[in-house]
A and B are shown apart, each in its own frame.
Chain A
């Protein structure tokens, strides 16, 4: 029943539909390019609006979930279960005055929110939500994602620099440093996936996951997840905003619709990231037959999002130097070691003629990688454990003399 509907959300079926319409209107000479344009336009319209709507409900989901962690109830007044809350928020933000500081660099200040939102929106184009539902079959899909996320750091720096506010500049300087640093471990995590899949296309990566890559290489998943959390600048890496330190960081001076767009981009990032994680490590739309692939995809996304929210609501923030140290001293090394190990495994196990890895090979790799991960964890714990949890017993200072009056 659902297959017909889901097949509709596909570029080619859109194209065919428009082609028929234009042909029936007697425009057969130009029907080809016009339907191409119309199909692309309608799909983009659908995708952007669906994503924006999803983000609106995601803010509700985030607030409710974090509220439960914090012994609160969260928004529950506006509509059933408070589901009307995101719309109230959006209407409020749009109706607020859109101020631009006098000293601000106006063009940069104005472009910054769009520059932050656009790459986030673009990522979704290459993500295969099911075997047949994706917007673009880009054969370099994952490379496109790595490239397009780098724009984020520029956009954040634009927002901070353009608003000519000291907090904003501090936040965006931190952001630029952090985002650039964490792109390396993120790329390393992705590379380990590519070594197994042997293809940059997202559909291929999903197809190669006879065994989910989270099982095959837990270390790669950890490296990628940590780096992605930092790229989204969420706790424990939320240096860009750091609300207890910088007020609001790079978005201090933004208000009205600009702030709404900044926030849209910020809340869209977890959705998009969880979609990427699902594709790379959780087998994309794979699942059992009783639910369509799209439903499995969304379910896995929710699991990832929940873990992100769990982290966000429980962990404090690291200091900027500790964050940079974590990226360069720990994550990057782990990423390199992981790649090295997987490269050897692939070279040994891969069939030299067909260039394919069977699921049996993947199981062997999984076994080796889990042993490696656990050994690394034990090693790191021992290394970190040297910094004692238990401190020495306190020694009273000789300078104090606390004798009750009258006693000696």
Chain B
């Protein structure tokens, strides 16, 4: 087709767009349908969480962390309280650690369910799988409601333990959920891995090689999808993860399909972890004797946990006062966005949406 003059089109995908998972914006240059250049723009949801933390005391900051990755508040809480405990040398009772691990794993399942549902929605399945995923996530949110009365912004964990003990209703409901979930997850996997259209849309699309994944500092399911067996729960066991037996699933080549297949497998592992926690947990105190105003000795520390989206780390500097001198968050969603260009160039518009969906970003965390 020589002789026809064509020119690339630059499209602003977002900040108001149904598939950018919030107020993310992509300036994409298309040659027809093919992506030839792209530039992510973010900051639309910047609320200054890190700066706000400098004016709150250590206990109050827990509520700020809820609002970062708002689909995985428990993991944020866990990462933050672990950093404070490390900074001020607080010993956490064992029962509290078990409850925290159960909560974090439940939250991981909830977050992955949402990621999977939204990815299928991005592929264009008109919300049906999304609502199937939400149906299961709802049960987990109900469990959280039993624990602390909140469903999304939980603030359940405190430096030194958790806010209150789980009552018998919670354990009964948890038992039922754990029995039901594996069946449901199998169903979800069949729905995805046997669907010809999903395979055509995700297989070998947006491949991220293991070298690139490490070079770009990617963590979490995306790193593991690129065959890199790296999980902080195994590599640097925190809480009681060293007593628990679980596998770290990895992908085959690092394409979009792997990224959400790894999430599916991880949910099954999370179910295993929770089952073991339920059998191992013993009665005891759920919170160390920690004052409301914590005054750690001057110093600094970095602690991280394996959040649903990757390595979620908090870096705190204390000057001896009631609030941190500086609080820095290593947000996995933000850093996982760095290889965006690497993954997307040369693919078509429809793939752009699925690749972005497979990264599973939460803008509250990206912009903070």
Contacts and interface: CB of A to CB of B under 8 A. Distances in A.
Interface string B117-137: 000111111111001100100
B125 A396 contact: no
Contacts of A404: 234-237, 242
Contacts of B214: 399
Given A244-B353, A402-B234, A322 B200 contact: yes
Contact of B229 (A322, A400, A405): A400
B226 A69 contact: no
Contacts of B349: 170, 245-246, 320
A2 interface: no
A238 B123 CA distance: 11
Contacts of A402: 229-231, 234-235, 248
Interface string A155-186: 00000000000110110001000000000000
B11 A394 contact: no
Interface residues of B, number: 53
B196 interface: yes
Interface string B94-123: 000000000000000000000000001111
A255 to B, nearest CB: 16
Interface string A279-315: 0000000000000000000000000000000001111
A378 to B, nearest CB: 16
Given A70-B127, A316-B123, A322-B200, A243 B132 contact: no
A155 to B, nearest CB: 22
Interface residues of A, number: 46
Given A235-B126, A405-B236, A316 B348 contact: no
B31 interface: no
Interface in A238-285: 238, 242-247
A243 B127 CA distance: 11
B348 A321 contact: yes
Contacts of A317: 123-125, 197, 201, 350
A225 interface: no
A318 interface: yes
A253 to B, nearest CB: 14
Contacts of A70: 127-128, 131-132
Given A236-B197, A320-B348, A322-B200, A244 B210 contact: no
Given A318-B201, A394-B227, A404-B235, A166 B9 contact: yes
B288 to A, nearest CB: 24
Contacts of A400: 210, 228-230
Nearest to B261: A391
Contacts of B350: 242, 245, 317, 319-320
Interface string A388-408: 010111111101101111000
A92 interface: no
B18 interface: yes
A230 to B, nearest CB: 14
A134 to B, nearest CB: 35
B113 to A, nearest CB: 14
Contacts of B33: 170, 174, 320-321
Nearest to B210: A397
A332 B133 CA distance: 37
A389 B17 contact: no
Contacts of A395: 227, 252
B307 to A, nearest CB: 17
Contacts of A238: 124
A166 B11 contact: yes
A392 B194 CA distance: 16
Nearest to A313: B128
Contact of A71 (B9, B131, B348): B131
Contact of A397 (B196, B227, B351): B227
A324 to B, nearest CB: 10
B122 A244 contact: yes
B208 to A, nearest CB: 12
A344 B110 CA distance: 59
A322 B197 CA distance: 10
A313 B125 CA distance: 7
Given A397-B210, A399-B210, A389 B193 contact: yes
Given A235-B124, A315-B125, A316-B124, A71 B227 contact: no
A88 interface: no
11 contacts: A72-B131, A169-B9, A174-B33, A242-B124, A244-B18, A245-B124, A247-B18, A314-B128, A316-B195, A397-B226, A399-B228
Interface of B: 9, 11, 17-19, 30, 33, 120-128, 131-132, 135, 193-201, 210-211, 214, 226-231, 234-237, 242, 248-252, 348-353
State the 6 A-B residue pairs at the shortest beta-carbon distance, nearest first: A317-B124, A397-B210, A316-B123, A397-B227, A316-B125, A319-B350
